[in-house]
Amino acid sequence: MHFELEPQIHPSHASRVAVLLINLGTPDRPTPRSVRRYLAEFLSDPRVIEIPALIWQLILRLIILPLRGRAAAAKYRSIWLSEGSPLRVYTAQQAQALQQQLNAQGYAVSVEYAMRYGSRNIHEMLTQLKRSGVERVLLLPMYPQYCAATTASAFDMAFTALQRMRNQPELRTIRHYADFMPYLDALAAQVRAHWAVHGLPDFASGSRLLLSFHGVPKRIIDLGDPYYMHCQLTATLLAQRLNLSDAEYRITFQSRFGRAEWLRPDTAIVLKELGAAGVKRVDVLCPGFTADCLETLEEIGIEGRAIFLQAGGETYHYIPCLNAAPWFIDGLADLVRLHLQGWPVQNSSGAIS
């Protein structure tokens, strides 16, 4: 095992605490080459694709990447911002806003963000934090619902990074916050803010709110992954906050990939069915995504709209992700303060919390 060379840190910089937000990742540019490189890493993660590696790599390299790279790049271009990838832009904004919020509350902590795949990855950022003198790191996945393919994969990379450190920092992990009240309050505030601008759906005439979560193969749920239960928990508690009856909202799952059986119902199929059934308005929220990205802006915002309208629907609203909305940053600060308890965090008065 090769251990990285670690510079000596002056004692005055010791005992610093950092919060590391972790998101999935993104291509650096919306080009076929960059997208193929990103997809190759993402789809080679055994946590994501649970198929024998030799067989899967043949399929991935010979079929999927050549066919999907150009099409996926076109989709990324349709949602790309002037500052870069939406996921990276919004995650950076979340880290900056959370830093300001915690500092204002007297917490002298450093807030950074990392990606599981692509540039600015978890290993790189943990190494950077360690070299800056940080000795305690709170890992905060931006996945509210636990899933082995996302949360566990992020932790895998973090622990692998520690294997190369001679003097390891102390780590804490946040497993999930699917039922954390401030997160649910933030979701409810996001929906209400949208309705304040666009009007309340006419549920009596059949309008619906869809709560679309990222799908996963049903097999991983059968093997014990709690993801489906967490999605149901979030959706049920959110509906209660919005005073919705069971008939006024639906839980759906998006981003189906491959031929395996995935969680149902499929968001695209439900949108088509609702449009064909004469439902005039549909609003869609993606509670499992905390920052807008390809799966929300393009798949739901563009493709979902086209499916619903072409099937006969009239009005379609995509409700943006929480991104850096103040009610979400407030909730994240609550979550972080809860998990920082017991660590020596210097507040603004110089005392130790």
Q: What is the pLDDT of residue 259?
A: 82
> Which residues in 202-213 are b (16+ Cβ under 10 Å) and which e?
eeeebbbbbbbb
| CB-CB contact of 145 with 52 (8 Å) | no
Domains and CATH numbers, the chain: 1-6+14-24+86-176+324-353 (3.40.50.1400), 27-84 (no CATH), 181-319 (3.40.50.1400)
5 Cβ neighbours under 8 A, 6+ residues apart: none
What are the start-end ranges of the E strands in 178-334? 208-214, 249-254, 281-285, 315-319
265 preceded by cis ω (within 30°)? yes
Q: What is the rounded CA–CA span in Å between residue 91 and residue 84? A: 12
Helix axes 65-79, 32-42, angle to 10 degrees: 110
**Strand-strand pairing, 208-214 and 170-173:** unpaired
Cβ-based neighbour number of residue 262 at 10 Å: 19
270 Cβ neighbours under 8 A, 6+ residues apart: 210, 250, 252
Helix axes 181-198, 326-340, angle to 10 degrees: 180
**Span 150-190, pLDDT tens digits:** 999 999 999 999 999 999 999 999 999 999 999 999 999 99
Is 314 annotated in some ligand binding site? no
Q: Is the pTM of this model over 0.85?
A: yes
**Strand-strand pairing, 134-141 and 208-214:** unpaired
- Give the full edge-to-edge strand order of the sheet including 134-141: 110-117, 16-25, 134-141, 170-173
Place of tokens 């909202």: 249
Q: What is the pLDDT of residue 67?
A: 85
Place of tokens 């919060």: 19
> What element of type H or E holds 136?
strand 134-141
Q: What is the rounded CA–CA span in Å between residue 48 and residue 72? A: 18
Q: What is the pLDDT of residue 1?
A: 61
338 Cβ neighbours under 8 A, 6+ residues apart: none
**Strand-strand pairing, 315-319 and 281-285:** parallel
pLDDT (tens place) for every residue of the chain, 353 residues total:
665 656 554 444 434 999 999 999 999 999 999 999 999 999 999 999 998 988 889 989 999 999 888 999 999 999 999 999 999 999 999 999 999 999 999 999 999 999 999 999 999 999 999 999 999 999 999 999 999 999 999 999 999 999 999 999 999 999 999 999 999 999 999 999 999 999 999 999 999 999 999 999 999 999 999 999 999 999 999 999 999 999 999 999 999 988 889 999 999 999 999 999 999 999 999 999 999 999 999 999 999 999 999 999 999 999 999 999 999 999 999 999 999 999 988 665 544 44
Q: What is the pLDDT of residue 337?
A: 97
* Polymer length in residues for the chain: 353
Beta-bridge partner residues of 137:
18, 171
Is 10 annotated in some ligand binding site? no
Q: What is the rounded CA–CA span in Å between residue 219 and residue 210? A: 24
| CB-CB contact of 141 with 174 (8 Å) | yes
Q: What is the rounded CA–CA span in Å between residue 289 and residue 281? A: 22
Angle (CA) 108 109 113, round 5°: 155
Q: Tokens for 157, please give them.
A: 């990379």
Q: What is the pLDDT of residue 5?
A: 57
**Span 180-194, pLDDT tens digits:** 999 999 999 999 999
First to last CA, the chain: 38
